[in-house]
Amino acid sequence: MNTKGAHSRPLPPLNPLKAFEATGRSLSVTRAADELSVTPAAVSRQIKALEDYLSVQLFKRMPNGLELTPAGTRYLADIVPLFNALRESTNAIVGGSSRRQLLKIRAPATFAVRWLIPRLAGFHIAHPAIDVQLTTSPVALDFEHEDLDGGIQLGGGDWPHTGTLLLTPNELVPVVGAGFAADLRAPEQLGDQVLLHSLARLDDWALWLREAGATQVNPYRGMRYETSLLAYQAAIEGHGVAIAQKSLVSKELEAGLLRMPFELVINRQSFTYYFAWPLNKPESLALTLFRQWLGQSAMPALNAQ
């Protein structure tokens, strides 16, 4: 068998590959340049060199930024795991141990900060040989194209080829800073207040106001923030009234930084946060242990419903 043709083409140069991988992950030449400690112009030159080498366009230059071409999407999906494996192997050599396990988890920023991170120390204590790499994003999990072991996702929990574990009830409540709007007692008065929204959950106010019977209040006006995390902080600072997921502001309510001006709580039932993992990939022991630990962490809140 003649294998010369299969191996005659040399591997692509490493620096252009690094520039493409960093840019593809962030879809930003500037962020890739910061990560690689080079100039944006240098990153652009490296990407052009790789495109010339492959004779394939990897990015579309759009008016509002970069977008991967279909070929670029496939190539990125193939090389990201290779770069991650290289990083892990290097870390194992430098760290003097190759027996540590790395678990890659992604979650929405608000849930990560408010629910997951305060509990992660407990997982590390229970399983010190497992390192958790936590990233955040509001977009849906994509196990086919992302190098992830599992993640947190908001929804109904009925995603194809995906296992799910319910983590927390999704109860909606208006909250305000402790010293803000002291005379706020009736939902109809919200028409005179600044409503604080998360861009990822723009219908939450509409759901609560409809249940409260305050149909004359416009549920979509007010200040909008990229995440609920920012909206909650704005409420603490006295900028308006936020619609909150009760389980994610429980500490602030207990500490008196936030208060609930109304008793009405809307439970969105199955539309809430789940831990999700792919069913069509081999499951590592690290993932099994992490899922079991999450179930134990979630149990008190779910039993309190």
Tell me the pLDDT tens digit for each residue of 157-202: 999 999 999 998 889 999 999 888 888 989 999 999 999 999 988 8
The predicted structure's pLDDT at residue 90: 72
Task: Give the count of beta carbons closer than 10 Å to the beta carbon of residue 107.
Answer: 24
Tell me the pLDDT tens digit for each residue of 234-257: 999 999 999 999 989 999 999 999
Instruction: Spell out, as residue ranges, where the chain has pLDDT lower than 70.
Output: 1-9, 88, 91-100, 300-305
The predicted structure's pLDDT at residue 164: 94
Distance CA 127, CA 4 (A): 47
CA-atom Rg of the chain in angstroms: 23
The predicted structure's pLDDT at residue 5: 45
The predicted structure's pLDDT at residue 6: 45
Check if the beta carbon of residue 181 is closer than 8 Å to that of residue 239. Answer: no
Cα→Cα distances 33→30, 37, 39, 82, Å: 5, 6, 5, 20
Distance CA 199, CA 109 (A): 13
The predicted structure's pLDDT at residue 4: 46
Q: In what order do the strands lie in the sheet with 101-107?
A: 130-136, 101-107, 150-155, 272-278, 162-168
The predicted structure's pLDDT at residue 131: 92
Residue 270 buriedness (CB in 10 A; 0-12 / 13-18 / 19+): exposed
Structure tokens, 173: 């409540």
Helical pair 29-36 and 14-26, crossing angle rounded to 10 deg: 130
